Chain A
Amino acid sequence: MTVAAVLLLRHAWRLQGRSVPLLGAAWALLVLGLIAAGAGHGAWGVSVACLSLMLCAFACLAVAGWTAPRDKARPPQRRAHMLPDAGEPSYIGRRLLTFLITVPFALVASLALALAMRVWVSASGAGEANANVVTLFLTPLLWSILVVLLMLAKRRRTQWLMLGAPLLVGGLSILWGMM
């Protein structure tokens, strides 16, 4: 079912205009396929269904790559603003602080928020194993999201607020959990 969904998506995306019914049907088929796989074989079934749909998409991509004509499209020119152009200042200090904010400081903030979640999950009666595993999974997930949010923030003050809020929430929750 998930393989059929990928093929239908391919067809729908190749149309000139956007066909909402076709796209809707494709996405619905994909979701239904995953639900059916989950109902039949649990998490194992969902994983195998996901692998099947990705393999099908790879096969479609291989065909697209094989049949692609030699083209001379204009290459992308969007700037990533990673390194300074000639004559521009390097802002080494600013970049170093951004690194510190997004890597070690963001890890501490994410850990604090994940530990806070552990307090809340535990308080809701979910059990010790569930609470600990939620924390183990949440730390890297929250860190990833925080890294992106911090790098999208336009002002340094916003970044400090983004770090401070989870630290405050986490710290207070841990204190509450210890009492």
Chain B
Amino acid sequence: MSNGEGVRAKGFDKATVRDALSAHAAIGLLAGAFLYLVCLTGTIVVFFAEWQRIEQPAAPEMREIAPQSVQRAVETVLASEKGKPLTTHLYVHLPTQDLPRTTITTDHQAVHVASDGSIAMPEENAWSDYLLSLHYTLHLPSTLGMILVGLLGVMIVALAISGVIAHPRIFRDAFRLRARDRGGVGLADWHNRLGVWTLPFTVMIALTGAMIGLAVVTGYGLAGSFYKGDLAAVYAPIFGGEGAADKASAPVPDMAAPMRYMQAHHPDVHPSYLILHDPLTAGQHVQVVGLHPNRLIFGEYYMFDAKGGYHGTAGLSDGALGQQAAASAYNLHFGNYGGLPVKIAYALFGLALCAMTATGTSIWLGKRRRRGLDHPRLTRAWDAIVWGSPTALMLTFVLRQWIGNDAPLVAAFWGLLVTILVVSLVVTDGHRFRRGLQMLLVVAILAGCVGFMLAV
């Protein structure tokens, strides 16, 4: 942006470069605030497992759990739900490197399990879940929200393409950073340099995010065109199909046998989940999600019947290329395929993406100001988004620590953000407003740290 003026791009004429800049600005401004929010929450949610541990530090942790302890815990949980409608699925999260906890989740409850198989306490990670929901759906109804976030992913890819076309010297100037330059050049350099070096990350994150978000739309398209409207049939060849339902009652299945089978036959594979389908019915069956080291896939499904008999895998680790690619999209997007180093790298690049989104609008506002078209309210409103969103997120974290798991986090976040936006339209000193928000963010982070230290 800063260096490309008057330079004819190789392969693109001047008019195309100019039109690409218009397209780049139009997409960025249209989606700017939501893009920033999704990038910001995505950056924080990289540490989803760690946030859960911070949120409930007293939950029992263990490196592994014995199969008979899991069996005992599942029996206790299912017994506690007598008289309620049968849960459709029961999930046992087994201890992993980043989340060394055993947690059982059903349609009715979620509880942490001690290493002896006794129920320790209810799971309380409302803030982590609210953060994830904000990233996935912007707290909208799930289908609508996911489509909207998928659309934002598409816009990021479009921004990357139009950004490269609009800036002819973007690769040649890839290491030129006039960071201390005021008056727009420094801001533009930061925007362009971060943009060019996070390009593979940006495209990969956006494309996998868009694929996940738009899977509903594409899935219905596939179902309507080729599967007589059956959405489950679209995913069956990829992730494996559900077994035939048989609602006749049955005893608690053997959950320990699949774990023992995995230990005996796949010692290199680390089970991360046990999924019990249709519990306490004759059609119940168990899936083990096994983590494969040094792979991008989120895991492989190992299938077992209620007595622990092995029935093969879904093929996510060694099946069709499409299966492996689909199973890799999730880890690639969330950055949980290489432990803490990869997560830190993702958080760093996520911050860069936030900075690009924030500076993009600021560059545009700055250009207009230099042409004599000042927009003080719009500038303050943009500051409210850029600094107000992390502040509101951190304040809800403090609220969660203060009130507890039942704190009204969604209402509090949107209430705070709207209030900050309204204040931005009322105040007159933009500089003091921005400094005030930055100070509030620092205070909120410190309050969150103090709250955590008091809870440990």
- What residues of chain A have their CB less than 8 Å away from a CB belonging to chain B? 9-10, 13-14, 41-45, 47-48, 50-51, 54-55, 57-58, 60-61, 64-66, 68-83, 85-86, 99, 103, 107, 111, 114-115, 118, 126-137, 139-141, 143-145, 147-148, 151-152, 154, 174, 177-178
Q: Which of A73, A77, A85 makes the CB contact (< 8 A) with B178?
A: A73
Please report the C-alpha to C-alpha distance between residue A66 and residue B16 in the assembled complex, in whole angstroms: 35
**Which residues in A have their C-beta under 8 angstroms from that of B29?**
82
Please report the C-alpha to C-alpha distance between residue A118 and residue B237 in the assembled complex, in whole angstroms: 14
- With contacts A69-B180, A151-B162 taken as known, whether A139 is within 8 angstroms of B185 at the C-beta atoms is no
Most buried by B among A79, A86, A126: A79
Q: Is the CB of A64 within 8 A of B320?
A: no
Please report the C-alpha to C-alpha distance between residue A51 and residue B373 in the assembled complex, in whole angstroms: 41
Q: Which of B22, B200, B296, B352 makes the CB contact (< 8 A) with A44?
A: B296
Residue B158 lies at the interface, judged by CB distance under 8 Å to chain A: yes
Residue B425 lies at the interface, judged by CB distance under 8 Å to chain A: no
Q: Is the CB of B185 within 8 A of A140?
A: no
Q: Which of B198, B200, B238 makes the CB contact (< 8 A) with A133?
A: B238
Q: Is the CB of A132 within 8 A of B5?
A: no
- With contacts A111-B221, A141-B207 taken as known, whether A134 is within 8 angstroms of B181 at the C-beta atoms is no
- B227 → chain A closest CB, angstroms: 9
Q: Is the CB of A131 within 8 A of B322?
A: yes
Q: Which of B296, B326, B366 makes the CB contact (< 8 A) with A136?
A: B326
- With contacts A73-B2, A129-B319, A152-B20 taken as known, whether A115 is within 8 angstroms of B295 at the C-beta atoms is no
Residue B251 lies at the interface, judged by CB distance under 8 Å to chain A: no
Who on chain A is nearest to B295 by CB? A44
- With contacts A57-B174, A139-B214 taken as known, whether A78 is within 8 angstroms of B184 at the C-beta atoms is no
- B363 → chain A closest CB, angstroms: 8
- Chief secondary structure at chain B's binding surface: helix
Q: List 11 A–B pairs whose Cβ atoms lie within 8 Å, in order of A's numbering.
A: A13-B175, A55-B345, A80-B25, A82-B22, A82-B364, A114-B221, A118-B226, A128-B237, A132-B238, A145-B161, A178-B225
Chain B, residues 1-13, CB within 8 Å of chain A (1/0): the string is 1101100000000
Q: Which of B1, B178, B207, B319 makes the CB contact (< 8 A) with A68?
A: B178
Q: Is the CB of A77 within 8 A of B5?
A: yes
**Which residues in B have their C-beta under 8 angstroms from that of A73?**
2, 178, 181, 185
Who on chain B is nearest to A175 by CB? B225
6 other A-B residue contacts (CB within 8 Å) besides A136-B218, A143-B210:
A74-B185, A78-B367, A80-B22, A140-B210, A141-B207, A174-B225
Q: Is the CB of B151 within 8 A of A103?
A: yes
- What residues of chain B have their CB less than 8 Å away from a CB belonging to chain A? 1-2, 4-5, 16, 18-27, 29-30, 150-151, 153-155, 157-158, 161-162, 165, 172-181, 183-185, 188, 190, 193-194, 197-198, 200-201, 207, 210-211, 213-215, 217-219, 221-222, 225-226, 234-235, 237-238, 294-296, 315, 319-326, 328, 332, 337-338, 342, 345, 348-349, 352, 363-364, 366-368, 370-371, 373
**Which residues in A have their C-beta under 8 angstroms from that of B185?**
71, 73-76
Please report the C-alpha to C-alpha distance between residue A134 and residue B21 in the assembled complex, in whole angstroms: 31
Please report the C-alpha to C-alpha distance between residue A44 and residue B214 in the assembled complex, in whole angstroms: 24
